[in-house]
Structure 1
Amino acid sequence: MFRSRALFRQYFAAAIATLSVMMAGTSMGWPSPVLRLFKENPNHLLPNETFIQMTSDQSSWVVSIIELGNLVTPIPFGFLVDSVGRKPCLLTTGPLYIISWLLVIFTKHVYVLYVVRFMQGLAMGIVFTVAPMYIGEIAGAKCRGALSTFFIGMLNTGILLEYLVGPFVDYDTLAYVSLVIPVVFLLTFIWMPESPYFLIMKERDLDAKKSLYWLRGGREASSDKINLELYNMKQDVEKEMKLSFDFMDIISTPANRRSLLIVQIVAVADVISGMSAVLPYASSTFARTEGAWITPDQCTLLLGVLVFLSTFPTAFLVDRTGRRPLLLVSCFGSGISQLTAGTYYLLTENYKMNLTPINWLPFTSITCFAVIYSIGLGPLVPTLQGEFFPSNTRGLAGGVTTITLTVISFLVMKMYQVIIDHYGVYLNYYIYSVGCIVCGVLVYFIIPESKGKTFAQIQDELNSHIAHKSKRKEEKKQTKIEASNKKAEIERNNKVENKIEA
């Protein structure tokens, strides 16, 4: 499978680092199998089954409050990641998840669940800010795209774990299963190397060389190649670190503003697609389909399996077809799928049409959306986040991206039930459809290709694009001035001729 020890070690380090992302996935997938236990009365529960009394509004807060926690940590850790390191910041997420799952096991109250979900959100904010950066910086240019897809792959693995186990075990057992992941993460990631980019930033060149030596295969690695790559890294970092470092740096230059715009467009597309609401509400959404051929829990389980499997082609395609084609297919394909699901629910719930012969359509549409999302929008946010931001702004800009994801995701998740109660579930899917299509248009016109390029090449192309754009503006301005001068000269000549004739 691996052509060299270097490739194996990079894949291995990325897999261990993204156990943190798997932890986030378990916290995202957990509400779906347990949501039916959060009721005002204990009807339809099995004997000895855990029951937590809460209103539908409280249950919607349990689902969505994780995003409020996710809002708190990105900016502070955007600074901390450049002062204490990528690895220590990522390690802090393990204890947060361990404590949160222990609270789930030993307490059974809605307000404790608010605290649990908020804590998990704090950890998720760190993961979403730091993990893409760490993966991007340990990877070689040729495999960076494939390694970056580990992020969505492990996120989906965590979600799938909850979908697979949740329907078949009790409330406490599911929490114990979820608790295993952060424990394994702490025991393994502590042995992984720090990012060589960070070590160079801190002028720890010997440590950076040791880190790079391990990542590039140890004894198998050529000393000359290691020294050359280390030299190039140092040149890149020194060039980027010559710039000042404060909050305004992320918008201080045209290239930085363009980088921020590119990543924010993809981040908005990621969450406006509705995936953050579709997953936790999957079981309750499928339960709305009359006469469905399989149960809601089976639908949810199958959805999780297909989403998980769909991440594997992305790892193969992202460094072959490029980022842009996958993003375009994902945006427009997701938009069409969401439009189809929304139309089905509009006709059945608002117009009371009998569509039993095609009651497979909502599951098929939502599954198609989830699969198409998972080959483009899902995995490519962390990929682009790790590629487009320069070293001196990568931590802070990553924090801003996480906040963008969090704010919109919170609104999507919290408003899902509100929109159902006031208008119908169809409107959610129509909103997601329009958002995907609009973002697809923006991707087509704004986002460049970054396949197979080093960080330095990407930054050089961004700067050259800005320079070319400025040159064209200057040429247009000069053309207008020349045209205006020519027009004025013609008018003067006409006046002179008129005077002579007079």
Structure 2
Amino acid sequence: MEKDLSVLKQHVAALLASLAAMSAGIAIGWTAPALPLLQAEEPAENVPLRVSVDEGSWISSLLPLGALFGAMPAGLMADWMGRKKAILSLAFPYTLGWLLILFADETIVLVYVGRFLCGLATGATTVLVPQYNEEIAEDAIRGALGIYMDFMLCNGVTLINIFGAYLSYTWFTIASCIASAIFLFTFVWVPESPVYLIMKDRMEEATEALSWLRQGKRSYDVQEELRYLQVNLISQSDDQEPRPFCDMLMRILNKLSFKSRTFRTVFIVYGLMVFQIVGGIDAVLFYTVDIFNDVGSDLSSNVSSIIVAVCQSVCNLISAFYVDSLGRRPMLLISAFITAVCHAALAIYFYFKGSGIDMESWSWIPVVALILFVIGFTVGFSQLPWLMMAELVPTRTKTWVNAGAVTLNWTMVFVITKDFPDMVQYLGNDVTYGLFSCMCVMSFVFVAIWVPETKGKSREEIQEALSIKKKVTSSKGDFA
């Protein structure tokens, strides 16, 4: 029971931090119910303005564009303000963005600005929340805490789709704004990351934070874990000193070899971020309704969006229970295999349909493939790249490596979501999904060859696995 209390408080802190990710999910999913109302030929009485198809595409794409710029300074914010204050500060761009959208009336520029501000906060969220959750976690539950960001993000998408189905435009936009306020007034009560406090030599505060997070743990020595974290911070740095981005970049360019631990880390983390997006998940999520219409589904737009969002949330929850027992690599490999097969099924279906073959009796195949694709993606590539980014990147280089990885991720999101309609138009559905299937196969090979297993390993053990240099050892107590 005492150990359960310790684990419980870590879960609570991670969940409250991940409420920022729920706000991000609400912002991402808002366009699904909102755009049909804003683009309707005869808008409802409470809808303030009507937008064209091109204006609607900008409303959608300004969020990932804002996320690019939000991710870039997030690492610096975390080192300057602290993890907790940096995450808390995100409530303000979220809230301001929603207020601008809510009171835009007939001024679409305010909607653009509001979406961009929500994008800034979303990009920073995807850098800061995984970092905080990883730094407060014991080794044995680090995987479960690391999944919370994506789990809460999916819950945000689900909630806004449900709100959009049953509430008016004004009220589901108000609900979006309230989520940010709830996050602000709950996360303020949890402690700062002990790792950050140790970096800043604030040992008394680090002791208090670690005592709160490990409260109730039997025969626990706070000072022993503090000493371990101090030694670990030193051993993670190649030269014991943090380097500016330009210096680190030059070192990597001068050591284009896997003998460099930094290069290996960047290669793996950035590779995971790229393969997360090029598998086509954002094309599926942003254009769920269009895809269901292409296959002749009778499901309404609201129902189809809710089905996809609920599948994501449920599978994220299931993954949280198994990530620390099955391991990261097996779940990534399973995810890549399932998504490759589902895309191949879609490609084959559309090929035969485009060839003039009557596929009416087989129309269930693409619907099942879409649902299985979302399930397969969610159990692995949805959340594990974020978790492994937090696990693999040394604390002293998180500032620029994490920001660069998330910026790359959102760049890919922007490109895929903008280009998907053109790919379908000029290449056809069969070729488009065939290409996505090939990307998933490549992601399977990438994980099988390069990605290490981090399940149950300490931060020191993970860094040793990434380095072929002489291992640095240190004493470590029972913190798992």
Question: After TM superposition, is the score higher than 0.5?
Answer: yes
Residues 237, 181 of structure 1: alpha-carbon distance in 2 compared, 3 angstrom cutoff: same
Deviation of residue 427 (structure 1)? 4.0
Change in 2 beyond 3 A, CA 1:2/1:147? farther
Aligned-residue offset at 1:163: 1.7
Residues 227-376 of structure 1 aligned to structure 2 (within 5 Å): 227-240=223-236, 242-247=240-245, 248-249=247-248, 252=252, 254-290=260-296, 292-348=297-353, 350-376=354-380
Give the Cα–Cα distance (whole angstroms) in 2 for the partners of residues 360 and 446 of structure 1: 37
Separation in 2, partners of 1:354, 1:151: 43
Q: Quick check: 1:42–1:51 contact (8 Å CA) kept in 2? A: no
**Which residue identity does 2:226 align to in structure 1?**
L
Change (3 A) 1:361 1:2: farther
1:209 Cα deviation from its structure 2 partner: 0.5
Deviation at 1:284, TM superposition (A): 2.7
Cα contact 2:236–2:460 (8 A) shared by 1: no
- Structure 1: where are the runs of 5+ without partners? 469-502
- The separation in 1 between residues aligned to 2:204 and 2:65, in whole angstroms, is 40
Residue 84 of structure 1 and its aligned partner are, at CA, apart by 1.7
Alignment of 1:43-58 (within 5 A): 43=42, 47-48=44-45, 50=47, 52-58=49-55
Residues 101, 2 of structure 1: CA spacing in aligned structure 2 closer, same or farther, 3 A cutoff? farther
1:21: Cα distance to partner? 0.6
Q: Does 1:457 align with 2:454?
A: no
What's 1:5 paired with? 5
Is 1:183 paired with 2:187?
A: no
* Other-structure match for 2:475: none
- Give the secondary-structure state (helix, strand or coil) at the position aligned to 1:376: coil
- Of residues 416, 424, 434 in structure 2, which corresponds to 1:430? 434
**8 A contact 1:30–1:280 mirrored in 2:** no
Aligned length: 460
SS of the equivalent of 1:151 reads helix
Checking the alignment, whether the CA contact within 8 Å between 1:265 and 1:443 is kept in structure 2 is no
* Greater shift in the superposed pair: 228-237 or 109-118: 109-118
Mapping for residues 376-455 of structure 1, pairs under 5 Å: 376-455=380-459
Structural mapping, 1:98-137, within 5 Å: 98-108=95-105, 109-137=107-135
Q: Is it true that 1:85 corresponds to 2:82 in the alignment? A: yes
Corresponding letter in the other structure for 1:249: M
Q: Do structure 1's residue 15 and structure 2's residue 12 form an aligned pair?
A: no
Shift of 1:359: 1.9
Deviation at 1:325, TM superposition (A): 0.5
- Larger displacement relative to structure 2 (438-447 or 70-79): 70-79
Per-residue deviation, 1:434: 1.5
1:129–1:395 CA contact under 8 A, matched in 2 = no
Q: 1:70: how far off?
A: 1.0
Equivalent-residue separation in structure 2 for 1:438 and 1:57 (angstroms): 34
Q: How much has 1:196 moved relative to structure 2?
A: 0.3
Contact between 2:98 and 2:118, CA under 8 Å: does it hold in 1?
Answer: no
Relative distance call for 1:297 and 1:362 in structure 2 (3 A) is farther
* 2:99 and 2:114 in contact (8 A); partners too: no
The one-letter code of the counterpart of 1:259 is T
CA drift of 1:356 comes to 1.9
Q: Deviations over 1:276-318 (max 9, x none)?
A: 222122123212232x343332222112111111112211211
SS in 1 for 2:139: coil
Q: Residue 323 of structure 1 contacts residue 449 of structure 1 at CA under 8 Å; is this kept in 2?
A: yes
Which residue of 1 is the match for residue 154 of structure 2? 156
Contact 1:32–1:279, Cα closer than 8 Å, also in 2: no
Provide the secondary structure at the position in 1 that maps to 2:73. Answer: helix
Distance 2:38 2:424 in 1: 18
Whole-angstrom CA distance in 1 between matches of 2:356 and 2:300: 22
Query: How far 1:442 sits from its partner (Å)?
Result: 1.0
1:339–1:429 contact (8 Å) kept in structure 2: yes
Query: What amino acid sits opposite 1:7 in the alignment?
Result: V
The answer for unaligned runs of 5 or more in structure 2 is: 472-480
- How far is the alpha carbon of 1:243 from its aligned partner? 2.6
SS where residue 259 of structure 1 aligns?
helix
Residues 98, 209 of structure 1: alpha-carbon distance in 2 compared, 3 angstrom cutoff? same
- CA–CA distance in 2 between the matches of 1:73 and 1:33? 25
Matches of 1:352 and 1:181, distance apart in 2? 49
Aligned pairs (5 A) from 1:157-172: 157-172=155-170
Shift of 1:352: 4.4
TM-score (structure 1 length as normaliser): 0.87
Offset at 1:384? 0.5
Identity of aligned residues (%): 28
d(CA) in 2 for partners of 1:67, 1:346 = 32
**Greater shift in the superposed pair: 9-18 or 27-36:** 27-36
Work out the CA distance in 1 between the residues paired with 2:348 and 2:2: 46
2:134 and 2:37 map into 1 onto residues whose CA distance is 40
Partner SS state of residue 143, structure 1: helix
8 Å CA contact retained: 1:2, 1:8: no
- Counterpart of 1:232 in structure 2: which amino acid? Y
Distance 2:433 2:166 in 1: 30
Report the CA distance shift for 1:338/1:49 in structure 2 as closer, same or farther (over 3 A).
farther
CA shift, 1:223, in A, is 6.8
1:71 aligns with 2:68: yes
Q: Give 1:337 deviation, angstroms.
A: 0.8
Describe the superposition over 1:164-199 as per-residue Cα deviations: whole angstroms up to 9, x where unpaired: 121222211111111121100000111111000000
CA spacing shift, 1:440–1:449, aligned 2, 3 Å? same
Q: Which has the larger radius of gyration?
A: 1
Residues 371-416 of structure 1: CA distance to partner in whole angstroms, max 9, x if unpaired?
1111100110121011111111012211011011011111001112
